Structure 1
């Protein structure tokens, strides 16, 4: 459903209340793609307003140029969030948790999401909220196919923070009548996204695991993720989890080999897992320690998203384009 279609379903309320109001928290690359989708959709002239929270004064002009009303505030400073209460009918939460606590200690919860929820509860709650989480909440699945019903088993503090954020949203807002939908997102790529292709890593010659030790990895093109976000805002079921992943079934090394062939670059060197533990940094190793294949049935059949880029081979070869593609 488009913003204008939603507005037409709200009866005889005054116009300023009939129109939906979308608030984007964490309006970076994906948030801007969501806005471009809204502008390109039928009835865009009658759509509701789109707001975005930003803590960066230098982004104000960029957001305004995109047709977004910027709101200055900082999730790390709860007092700056008071104006969010009662503002939005729909909310898209794309902001990541902080990497660590203020004292540098390990952090296993998400104070940013908690601050957002507390600010929202001071006014009328939004009708729907979509949160972009991570597929890392499952931990290592030994290459198994993973449905949305699989219990979470986060193996890193980074994934644990996402689990905590999901729980806060589902328990605090979902139980208060907000239609909370969770998108669990794997690796995001796009040729027109900063750092959105493996080209820089290939140029550095960073190694990957040998075939016998390699892991399955999952991907989503940034344009398809934007479509998933938009559809979840209007079609997502309450307390429902969706895997925002494409149809690719690739091991990580094969992904980089394919990209290297596409760019005409040398394929990356291969290491045994034991060699990798000595030569590669811990963060990179953490991604090489988890293997899973995400099922995306709900994405395709419940949200009715027709992937523009069903595989990374197609996505890396094609220029990015916008336009909502759904099954009729």
Structure 2
């Protein structure tokens, strides 16, 4: 079995490392190979997916990690890629976003929940899912859609916010948010291929938090002063457009489907432990 990673960056690195540790054959596709993501045994092909791509080995699992770009309602880059490329595979894993659900006012959300689309970014993500569904149905390839929560790990923690003591929203009035440790994301992705599971899966740690919890944990572990609390309105006033989109999409991701499918092979690192491991990886904790 071969593994092809389309869009090789932060998440792709952890995925490739996990696969290589299992003695798998891994090829990664990206425009350039960042030296920070180089791995012994990894085959890398420099390629821009804006141009046609040919992969004819059907004994391959394809992982697509490229987020939609632009300001359209559709993922035009993916559309062009799928239209002009020739791909053979035994399974496709699409790394999507739980952002497609939109705002559920803090309610629990499973894979059958309605998608309340309120932004072009959410619409592009949903369009990308639909494009992969159409492509895989046409070519009779099993498809697994991952609706992934906020990814964190080494070099993906709110260190600057913790050091600058940026205020966080009072937990009593804060929306909910969801997380997944990048190492767990890689492990789950591979586990789903090993049981040949298709369908849609929410990918999170199953323990939603309020906004600011990651920052609090970082501050606590680094023995920094804790952040002060502010109102939702104060946070909204200084938030970027993307942060406002997150703040206005309160939901709690249910991972019951994932638990049922993977059972004992599902291992989730508790948030505090994963943050500690990430800080140690960066040399910030002994």
Q: Taking structure 2 as the reference length, what is the TM-score of the superposition?
A: 0.88
Q: Distance in 2 between matches of 1:22 and 1:84?
A: 11
How big is each residue's C-alpha offset from its partner over 1:105-156, in whole Å with a ceiling of 9 and x where there is no partner? x311112222332244x35x31100011011100111111111111222222
Query: For residue 6 of structure 1, what is the aligned residue in structure 2?
Result: none
Question: Does the C-alpha gap of structure 1 residues 175 and 297 become closer, same or farther in structure 2, counting only changes over 3 Å?
Answer: farther
Q: Select the residue among 114, 130, 133 that pairs with 1:167.
A: 130
Secondary structure, counterpart of 1:169 in structure 2: helix
Q: Distance in 2 between matches of 1:203 and 1:288?
A: 22
Question: Does the C-alpha gap of structure 1 residues 159 and 319 become closer, same or farther in structure 2, counting only changes over 3 Å?
Answer: same
Pairing 1:130-141 to 2, within 5 Å after superposition = 130-141=93-104
Contact 1:132/1:185, CA 8 A, preserved across alignment: yes
Secondary structure, counterpart of 2:262 in structure 1: coil
Structure 1 unpaired stretches of 5+: 1-19, 101-105, 322-328
Secondary structure, counterpart of 2:206 in structure 1: coil
Q: Distance in 2 between matches of 1:115 and 1:21?
A: 24
Query: For residue 312 of structure 1, what is the aligned residue in structure 2?
Result: 271
Q: Which has the larger radius of gyration?
A: 1
How big is each residue's C-alpha offset from its partner over 1:40-75, in whole Å with a ceiling of 9 and x where there is no partner? 22xx2xx4x32111111x548954x43122122112
Query: For residue 233 of structure 2, what is the aligned residue in structure 1?
Result: 274
Does the alignment pair 1:115 with 2:74? no
Q: Distance in 2 between matches of 1:23 and 1:185?
A: 20
Query: For residue 150 of structure 1, what is the aligned residue in structure 2?
Result: 113
Structure 2 unpaired stretches of 5+: 281-286
How big is each residue's C-alpha offset from its partner over 1:241-275, in whole Å with a ceiling of 9 and x where there is no partner? 11111032321134433332222222223222222
Q: Distance in 1 between matches of 2:217 and 2:279?
A: 19
Q: Distance in 2 between matches of 1:254 and 1:53?
A: 35
Larger strand fraction of residues:
2
Contact 2:163/2:219, CA 8 A, preserved across alignment: no
Question: Does the C-alpha gap of structure 1 residues 161 and 226 become closer, same or farther in structure 2, counting only changes over 3 Å?
Answer: same
Q: Distance in 2 between matches of 1:205 and 1:292?
A: 26
Contact 1:23/1:88, CA 8 A, preserved across alignment: no
Query: For residue 188 of structure 1, what is the aligned residue in structure 2?
Result: 151
Query: For residue 66 of structure 1, what is the aligned residue in structure 2?
Result: 40
Secondary structure, counterpart of 1:303 in structure 2: helix
Q: Taking structure 1 as the reference length, what is the TM-score of the superposition?
A: 0.77
Q: Select the residue among 38, 51, 69 that pairs with 2:27.
A: 51
Does the alignment pair 1:213 with 2:173? yes
Query: For residue 62 of structure 2, what is the aligned residue in structure 1?
Result: 91
Q: Distance in 2 between matches of 1:62 and 1:247?
A: 29
CA RMSD of aligned residues (A): 2.4
Question: Does the C-alpha gap of structure 1 residues 320 and 22 become closer, same or farther in structure 2, counting only changes over 3 Å?
Answer: farther
Number of aligned residues: 279
